[in-house]
Structure 1
Amino acid sequence: MKRPLIYFQELNTWDKVTIGLYLNISLGLYFLYAGSELVEEKKDILFWYPYGTQLFLYFVNYRSLRNKSVYAIWFLIGLFHYYFYLNLISDPLLEGVKVHAATGLRNTVILLSLFQVLRIVSLKIQGEELVCPSKSRTDLFEERDVTIIDFILFVIYIFFLVMLGLNFQFDK
């Protein structure tokens, strides 16, 4: 049975575990960041933390993001990312050659929104939910054959991830 575009369900075990684990990892990384006096270590944390989140959401959690209850929680986490970005963007020590180390935090909400747009495009064009291509011809969870549309939408997401993170700066 196909679900409607927008639906709310209770969180399942997978969602509770991944969100709980993510929040614990975030707390640990926050304390590691706050306790570090090494600027390079802080830059590394600020690079890998948001990009790891954004890749995880598409590669592993794409199915859960269809549930608006789960999506709302991750969007709230994205808003916290944005809040931290606003607090860190004025720190000159975190400036890189072309990009500020905190820029990735800004992009979580943007990429979550892009995910939903790509999901709608997938549903409208091929009548199928958006999935993440894998090495096999099927997606990771649903065992649905991946189409060329799935692959193109995946490339668009990755393109935006890279473009937003590395090349595109908003005014501070």
Structure 2
Amino acid sequence: MTVLMNLDLQIQVLIDNAPQDGTTPKIMEAIAPVLKLVATQLQHSEYHILQTLDESWLLTTLSNRAQPEIQKNVIYAFGTLKDAADFQSVSDPEILAAAVPVTHILFQMLALDAVTSIVFFDTPGNLAAGTEVRRDELQTLIQTQLQHSQSVPRSYPSNLPPDIA
């Protein structure tokens, strides 16, 4: 199975699991190209996220060394289970690593107000270099996509000229 096909399946699961309120699945379909675009820039179709027993993702607060008052909250996503396990200096039975599809991570990040970004570690054994996906940049891409999808003309009766006979 190719990565793109896997991403399509992941997106379909998101759409299928969205509240069937007539709007949310359509929004999911509209933002799917953005989720796929960002996901294709990463190397894995799923990542391991450290989470607590109640399935809350582990948040790490980082401070700027030069300006400690500048902080950001990140979630780490590991390409391998071993990297996720190795990240914890002391094994904590309250913290588990869960495999999560990459598009689901990106979508979930949008709902996590406290998260500044997610750092994806793609290279096994290398926890020094990751790819940062910032929440605000992802939101901007999605807003642009939603505006574009809303500006596409549709053939609803409300789009018909008033003098049509």
If the length of structure 2 is used for normalisation, what is the TM-score? 0.30
Q: Point out the structure with the larger strand share.
A: 2
If the length of structure 1 is used for normalisation, what is the TM-score? 0.29
